């Protein structure tokens, strides 16, 4: 989820650069380690002030047991999305990205993703990008494999724009 916080509202290239700097900080990817790092060191890695605060909240929640990777994995998609999205700084997009990439769920579609909206608009010949509600409705036809549809749309977007797809950033992130 920390990876998703890093990637929120920035390009994949910027997210990959920040993630690389964050990974280089000692124990930054462990809740205990992240909490002992100074705000200055996290900001030096490229995290904004709000992202530093959200990362700290996330680390605290994993430490106190409010969030658990095992519990999230055991939950259904809707329940896990609601749990993650209830965390300050994490929303539905972040939750869906986590389920799609980290948990490899088969039927998750992050309809708030502008690249998915752009790709769908181009493929469907729409006059503009659909809003998240319209995109989610469009994606209903792709059940129960909406995660695959999202990956294909990101791939198409990469070819349209020449930018790396989120899948490329996920591959660069490593374990």
pLDDT tens readout for residues 85-112: 999 889 999 999 999 999 999 999 999 9
Per-residue pLDDT tens for 36-79?
999 999 999 999 999 999 999 999 999 999 999 999 999 999 99
- Domain boundary assignment for the chain: 2-102, 114-173
The yes-or-no verdict on residue 167 having pLDDT over 60 is no
pLDDT exceeds cutoff 60 at 165: no
Q: What is the mean pLDDT of residues 152-165?
A: 86
Distant-in-sequence contacts of 152-157, Cβ < 8 A, 24+ apart: 153/115, 153/116, 153/119, 153/120, 153/123, 154/115, 154/116, 154/119, 156/119, 156/122, 156/123, 157/115, 157/116, 157/118, 157/119
pTM for the full predicted model: 0.84
pLDDT of residue 166: 47
CATH architecture of 2-102: Orthogonal Bundle (1.10)
């Amino acid at each position: 989820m920390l990876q998703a916080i890093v990637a929120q509202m920035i390009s994949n290239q910027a997210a990959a650069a920040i993630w690389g700097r964050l990974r280089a900080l000692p124990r930054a990817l462990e809740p205990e380690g992240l909490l002992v790092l100074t705000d200055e060191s996290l900001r030096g890695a490229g995290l904004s002030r709000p992202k530093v605060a959200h990362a700290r909240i996330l680390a605290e929640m994993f430490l106190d047991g409010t969030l658990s990777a095992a519990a999230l994995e055991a939950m259904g998609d809707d329940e896990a999305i609601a749990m993650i999205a209830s965390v300050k700084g994490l929303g539905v997009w972040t939750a869906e990205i986590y389920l799609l990439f980290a948990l490899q769920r088969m039927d998750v579609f992050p309809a708030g993703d502008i690249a998915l909206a752009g790709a769908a608009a181009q493929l469907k010949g729409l006059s503009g990008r659909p809003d998240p509600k319209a995109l989610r409705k469009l994606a209903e036809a792709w059940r129960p494999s909406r995660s695959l549809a999202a990956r294909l749309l990101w791939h198409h977007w990469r070819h349209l724009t020449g930018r790396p797809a989120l899948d490329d950033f996920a591959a660069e992130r490593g374990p």
